[in-house]
């Protein structure tokens, strides 16, 4: 790790800011004084809260132009084609949307002199480990994991400066589409608030129990990802970081702890199989919990316990503002 300036103001070009994680990252970076420019592919509308620029991530010259216009110090690459079935339907297009795009961003950043922060996933592993370390060789089970792993390698081998931050079990609100339905899926994303939505309305919530889906993860709130990404940029981190929570939990454990923190009735929890129409057309890693030993050293701070993160999420739901703990 380079020790670089800890106080320099970051000028961050962010991709994926209209998405779930990207919106939270944008909010936290902006709240913490980073100079943000969101590279978007279409006009995000009048309510979009951060500066934006239409940028074609298929065109390396346009990415370079965005970096130059903004005088970016960093590019945080979060944009993703989030359609697993689509990757299988058109593998060539999927490869370009992941690996090709990451390569264009890396080359543009190198030419401009910016660092690259690439957001990756716990699904680069096959789900047979537990609290897997940053330096464990990847072993993806499906095309999403494979293309993320290849994108990671593109950054690790190709970026003059930068790092890969794996996240997983991400909990939070979609800031730019707050009314979008929040539903349990075969990953851990949105799990807590979909449960909170149901139980708050007095409806039962069925926690899926199935060895063929993501059953264990290290949940982290989306706002915390923003805080730690900024910290990693300020510290000019390199290599692989794991930005996850301190606790590895099953879906049922997460459901029980969420009931406790949100003061909801655990008697409304059920367990059951995954509905057929929710299954994904590919193998899913089961235990994707991650360890953070190297990350703790690089960032100088351990991850937050699950209860604290759920408490911050509850505050966020009440206040309407992301509450990172770091």
- Give me the half-sphere count of Cα atoms (radius 13 Å) on the Cβ side of residue 101: 24
- Residues in Cβ contact with 11 at an 8 Å cutoff, skipping those fewer than 6 apart: 34, 35, 37, 70, 71, 72, 73, 74
Using rule CB under 6 A, residue 322 touches ligand NAP:
no
Using rule CB under 6 A, residue 105 touches ligand NAP:
no
By DSSP bridging, strand 35-40 and strand 205-208 are: unpaired
Binding region for ligand NAP (CB under 6 A) out of 14-22, 85-93, 198-206, 254-262: 14-22
Binding region for ligand NAP (CB under 6 A) out of 163-171, 244-252, 301-309, 314-322: 163-171
Using rule CB under 6 A, residue 121 touches ligand NAP:
yes
Distance between CA 175 and CA 300 in Å, rounded? 29
Minimum Å gap between C-beta 239 and ligand NAP is 18
Using rule CB under 6 A, residue 116 touches ligand NAP:
no
Using rule CB under 6 A, residue 26 touches ligand NAP:
no
By DSSP bridging, strand 216-217 and strand 249-250 are: antiparallel
Per-position x/- string for 79-98, each x denoting binding to ligand NAP as judged by CB under 6 A, each - no binding: xxxx--------------x-
Distance between CA 237 and CA 320 in Å, rounded? 31
Residue 256's Cα: distance from chain center in Å?
23
Binding region for ligand NAP (CB under 6 A) out of 20-28, 67-75, 274-282, 300-308: 20-28
Minimum Å gap between C-beta 285 and ligand NAP is 11
CB atoms inside a 10 Å sphere around CB 41: 14
Using rule CB under 6 A, residue 209 touches ligand NAP:
no
User: DSSP H helical segments within the chain, as ranges?
Assistant: 20-31, 60-70, 84-89, 91-95, 101-112, 143-158, 191-200, 222-234, 251-261, 293-299, 306-319
Using rule CB under 6 A, residue 37 touches ligand NAP:
no
Minimum Å gap between C-beta 135 and ligand NAP is 19
Minimum Å gap between C-beta 192 and ligand NAP is 11
Residues that bind ligand NAP (CB under 6 A): 15-16, 18-22, 41-42, 57, 78-82, 97, 119, 121, 148, 167-168, 170, 187, 189
């Amino acid at each position: 790790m380079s020790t670089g300036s800890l106080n320099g103001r970051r000028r961050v070009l962010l991709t994926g800011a209209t998405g779930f994680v990207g919106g939270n990252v944008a909010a936290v970076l902006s709240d913490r004084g980073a100079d943000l420019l969101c590279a978007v592919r279409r006009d995000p509308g009048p309510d979009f809260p951060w500066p934006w620029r239409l940028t074609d991530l298929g065109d390396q010259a346009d990415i370079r132009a965005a970096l130059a216009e903004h005088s970016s110090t960093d590019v945080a690459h979060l944009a993703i084609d989030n359609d697993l079935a689509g990757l299988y339907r058109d593998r060539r297009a999927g490869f370009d949307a992941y690996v090709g795009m990451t390569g264009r961003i890396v080359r543009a950043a190198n030419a401009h002199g910016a660092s690259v922060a690439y957001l990756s996933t716990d699904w680069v592993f096959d789900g047979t480990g537990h609290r897997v370390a940053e330096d464990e060789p990847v072993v993806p089970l499906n095309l999403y994991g494979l293309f993320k792993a290849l994108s990671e390698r593109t950054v690790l081998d190709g970026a003059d400066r930068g790092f890969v931050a794996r996240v997983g079990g991400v909990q939070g609100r979609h800031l730019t589409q707050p009314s979008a339905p929040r539903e349990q899926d075969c990953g851990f994303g949105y799990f807590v608030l979909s449960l909170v939505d149901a139980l708050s309305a007095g409806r039962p919530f069925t926690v899926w129990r199935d060895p063929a889906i993501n059953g264990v993860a290290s949940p982290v709130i989306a706002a915390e990802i923003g805080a730690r990404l900024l910290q990693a940029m300020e510290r000019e981190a390199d290599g692989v970081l794991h930005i996850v929570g301190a606790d590895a939990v099953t879906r049922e454990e997460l459901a029980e702890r969420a009931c406790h923190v949100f003061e909801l009735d655990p008697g409304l929890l059920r367990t059951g199989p995954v509905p057929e129409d929710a299954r994904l057309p590919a193998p899913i890693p089961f235990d994707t919990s991650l360890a953070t030993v190297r990350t703790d050293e690089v960032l100088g701070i351990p991850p937050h316990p699950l209860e604290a993160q759920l408490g911050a999420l509850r505050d966020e739901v009440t206040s309407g503002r992301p509450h990172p703990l770091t």
